[in-house]
Amino acid sequence: MPQGKKNIREFSLEELVTVIKELGEKSFRANQVYEWLWKKNAHTFEEMSNLSLSFRNLLEEHFYIDAIHVEDEQISKDKTIKCAFGIETGKIVEGVLIPTKSRMTACISSQVGCSLACTFCATGRLKLLRNLTAGEIVDQVVYLKNQAEQRYNTPLTNIVYMGMGEPLLNYKNVVRSCEIISSEKGLGMSPKRITVSTAGIAKMIRKLGDDDVKFNLALSLHAANDEKRNKIMEINESNNLEELREAVIYFHEKTSSRVTFEYIIFKDFNDSIEDAAELAQFTKCVPCKINIIEYNPIDEGAFQQADAAKVDAFANYLESKNLIVNVRRSRGKDIDAACGQLANKNKAIASSERVLKG
């Protein structure tokens, strides 16, 4: 962060008009700059070729662009791509491009590290260092979008905020990044192609409803009784299932959006028919779909992958209760890019941790 300079991507278009006029330039220049920042994803003022050299120098004098860069990239045998993005010296986040037959999904991060310490998640072992800016979030999408087009000749179809961090604890920047991604002045993607996943911050789920967001909400549930959920997710002690149920109902009433419930299934912990019955009872509160997610082991983790037969029986029970169920098979396990594995065995992140411990 250059001393004395402001991050130009922090300004809305209206704010940018004001600051550009204060520099003695005409207001239409703000539209040109904004287009370079968000539609063309310029990472330097030098790239803004339709602006005069003197104006570019003026921008350089007063502002900086909080662009990210790629530190490391791995490609799985199933074509999943995991990227380690450098945010600033010693700080790394990860993003993943997940190709399937029906969709091309970018899984992106919202924080450097995470404060929630869920026991099954590699990212939860990292300390929370800081929130990402809206620009740093959008940069991940742009890079993975370009990878989809260049490597697989396929457009990006979906974006999920399911990488490192808890999105609703970085509410302002996450919501703004969604607005930029879906704006015609930005990437122009439909907000219905965007899903923000939360471990369950009831107050902020209600705020999503109050703000009438257009993107999708996913709640990482993983257990439908408080005793079990407390064991694996500390956040449940302050945001219990009854509070989450009421918050989700409120969100649906405000937005009319269907909610996704995510359920990582662990061997001999939450994979019984009794667990399925509890999940069915909880999820009846709103129109929803349920994603049953195959567990991906992490180093020194306490859980194991559930048996395939139990997963099928679990899903079949839910379907018998007229619930929409998808079983999500792991992608990118060989490069630790699967759900819950981000930051597991990552060379770039291990290096950054050494720098930070210094």
Q: Mind telling me the catalytic residues?
A: 94, 339
Cα–chain-centroid distance for residue 280?
26
Separation between Cα atoms, residue 62 and residue 68, nearest integer Å: 20
Asked whether the beta carbons of 237 and 226 are under 8 A apart, the reply is: no
Which residues, including other chains, have CB under 8 Å from residue 15's CB and lie 6 or more apart? none
Reading the block at residue 190, the tokens are 């439909």
**Helices marked H in the chain — which ranges?**
13-22, 28-34, 53-62, 134-152, 171-182, 202-210, 226-232, 241-255, 273-283, 308-320, 347-357
Strand partners, 220: 262
Burial, 81: exposed, middle or buried (Cβ in 10 Å; 0-12, 13-18, 19+)? Answer: buried
- 205-233 burial, b at 16+ Cβ within 10 Å, e below that, comes to bbbbbeeebebbbbbbbbbbeeebbeebb
Give the count of beta carbons closer than 10 Å to the beta carbon of residue 190. Answer: 12
Residue 91 CA neighbour count, 13 Å, CB half: 18
Which residues, including other chains, have CB under 8 Å from residue 25's CB and lie 6 or more apart? 55, 58
Q: Which of 122, 195, 193 is nearest to 162 (CA)?
A: 195
